[in-house]
Structure 1
């Protein structure tokens, strides 16, 4: 290869820009160029912040994170500590025997499933007291389970025959099921009633326990249950056929499927205070079948704080990050004071010598 720059190029060789954009020869054939269109954005020549992470800046940043995160973590833990929570697992207590005996008993229509529980209040519970039921090892996030529903049918009365996505719970006795699908079919149907040791009845308010957007947009006011739980195998609770779906809030709460196999769903609210040392008598109907898949059922009574329910994770996470930043800030400060590193002159950096970045 001739490296002499004065050697003329082959006159017969085509020019790389012939026929390109802006070529004076309009008759020359056009040639696609792979060169991208120039812009300051694609060439990364826009003005940018290029901070120099000196020890003082790094230590100051860690100290700032420490000052912000540790108080938030302490406040979160204190708020979580003020929440009073009572958790009672009752599935094994209310029903004894082998797994097959439990399944046979829970599926029997004639068997008496009433169970009595007593809960002791260790700390004063201020209203409102939220009543939850908790299920363990129940995979509401299973793909076939989640898909087995018809949102159009739940919303519009004219779409009650739209059950193509609800198999295998789409029809019973040759008629469409409303609401159809496995999600509605497996509706939780244990019930609870409460009273205190001094025979004070604790009424449960079940209004507005679901999301307002679900009541207004996802469930129709003119859609009524029809042919529900009329198949050969009953999955869970039944619905009142004279009440529209947007008022059956137990169903609405259940139909918002959970992402994890252990979840809680709101059953209702107790709107009176319960004093420390009182005993709550619970009369429950143990109807829901969790025995066939080794699930667990728990009754949860809980108050709330400004942060919500009882949750120590948020406070621990903030304290962990704040403590780690404090440790790093202390370590870097000691190193900087004991054995400092000589810094270079920032005027020699490329963006200081050539502010345009070229």
Structure 2
């Protein structure tokens, strides 16, 4: 028997439905801005973007070109033999190396000292995961080393702090800087992010059993200094996203004049030869935009120039072939 709508009103057990409760959100009836892109608005928008981006690009490019940067690759020149891997792995060889650079322009302090490594994939999944963040932060988590294999425990099953391949491979080249023959202090304080020091590394966590195994990966740590103050380690533990990266080694708090000779005595300890990598020393000043980076300025100039070109092209087209907006006579079926 067919049931009509009026009869359904009196039905005490109506059929259930999946119809949602009415609201302006579910029915897409909320107030919305629906701009009409007239030729005038499009031309003005492109012109405004271009007028903003071009000055930003010029300022960024100028700031980048004001940065003075010296880069000296030393991994090849600091090993005098053909068997570079054997040389670097031999603990009895003298690995002292001296490089000299001439400063082309005045360098205003602070002058940042970086080490640059190429061909080191710190973003490898197994490498990135080989660490224990809880162990670095909490004293009660020293035993949490399951993610740190093969550098989680010693041969007698004592936990390594800090554990994992990231800490184990800590960079251990050292630099002694002389300017015109005078030793210049490299300040290694405050080279790590403040948030990392305060939130990721505990003030009561001290290294233990670190680099005590048969195979030494990199630098050792002072067991009397808490991890929150071992800034070389903190800088290294912030892994890089790309295989070519630079990390801050320290700062020179002294101006260096043009044509000064900078001599750097390097202890070439870090093994990049086994995986075909390279090392370089970088001295660089900084500007309001940071270090030397022409890409940002060029990107702004390119986008700004393109927008200005489009604005000019649309303006010429609009002036030559002007037509009324929303004129139905321009529809194809009305022509």
* TM-score calculated relative to the size of structure 1: 0.88
Aligned to 2:209: 227
Aligned partner of 2:58 among 50, 53, 74: 74
The 10-residue stretch of structure 1 (47-56 or 227-236) with the greater mean CA deviation from structure 2: 47-56
Aligned to 1:13: 2
What is the Cα deviation at residue 43 of structure 1?
2.1
1:275 and 2:257 aligned: yes
Aligned to 2:177: 194
The 10-residue stretch of structure 1 (68-77 or 30-39) with the greater mean CA deviation from structure 2: 30-39
Aligned to 1:92: 76
- Residue segments in structure 2 that go unaligned for 5+ positions in a row: 329-335
1:124 to 1:15, Cα distance in 2 relative to 1, 3 A = farther
Aligned to 2:87: 105
Contact kept? 1:132, 1:266, Cα under 8 Å: yes
User: 5 Å matches for 1:168-317?
Assistant: 168-174=150-156, 175-197=158-180, 199-317=181-299
Query: What secondary structure, in the 3-state scheme, does the structure 2 residue paired with 1:93 have?
Result: coil
Contact kept? 1:18, 1:31, Cα under 8 Å: no
1:332 to 1:177, Cα distance in 2 relative to 1, 3 A = same
Structure index of larger Rg:
1
Counterpart Cα distance in 2 of 1:244 and 1:317:
43
What is the Cα deviation at residue 15 of structure 1?
6.0
1:24 to 1:299, Cα distance in 2 relative to 1, 3 A = farther
Counterpart Cα distance in 1 of 2:111 and 2:246:
15
Query: What secondary structure, in the 3-state scheme, does the structure 2 residue paired with 1:91 have?
Result: coil
The CA deviation string for residues 306-345 of structure 1, in whole angstroms up to 9 with x for no partner, is: 1111111111111001100111011111111112133225
What is the Cα deviation at residue 16 of structure 1?
8.2
Query: What secondary structure, in the 3-state scheme, does the structure 2 residue paired with 1:325 have?
Result: helix
1:14 to 1:181, Cα distance in 2 relative to 1, 3 A = farther
Aligned to 1:56: 40
The 10-residue stretch of structure 1 (123-132 or 173-182) with the greater mean CA deviation from structure 2: 173-182
1:108 to 1:48, Cα distance in 2 relative to 1, 3 A = same
Query: What secondary structure, in the 3-state scheme, does the structure 2 residue paired with 1:92 have?
Result: coil
Query: What secondary structure, in the 3-state scheme, does the structure 2 residue paired with 1:94 have?
Result: coil
1:269 to 1:15, Cα distance in 2 relative to 1, 3 A = farther
Query: What secondary structure, in the 3-state scheme, does the structure 1 residue paired with 2:59 have?
Result: helix
The CA deviation string for residues 274-324 of structure 1, in whole angstroms up to 9 with x for no partner, is: 000001001001110111111111111100001111111111111001100
Aligned to 1:354: none
Query: What secondary structure, in the 3-state scheme, does the structure 2 residue paired with 1:194 have?
Result: strand
Query: What secondary structure, in the 3-state scheme, does the structure 2 residue paired with 1:165 have?
Result: helix
- Residue segments in structure 1 that go unaligned for 5+ positions in a row: 1-11, 347-358
1:205 to 1:341, Cα distance in 2 relative to 1, 3 A = same
Aligned partner of 2:17 among 20, 28, 33: 33
Contact kept? 2:81, 2:87, Cα under 8 Å: no
The 10-residue stretch of structure 1 (108-117 or 154-163) with the greater mean CA deviation from structure 2: 154-163
Contact kept? 1:164, 1:170, Cα under 8 Å: yes
1:200 to 1:17, Cα distance in 2 relative to 1, 3 A = farther
1:344 to 1:227, Cα distance in 2 relative to 1, 3 A = same
Counterpart Cα distance in 2 of 1:257 and 1:267:
15
What is the Cα deviation at residue 160 of structure 1?
1.4
What is the Cα deviation at residue 263 of structure 1?
0.9
* TM-score calculated relative to the size of structure 2: 0.94
What is the Cα deviation at residue 184 of structure 1?
0.3
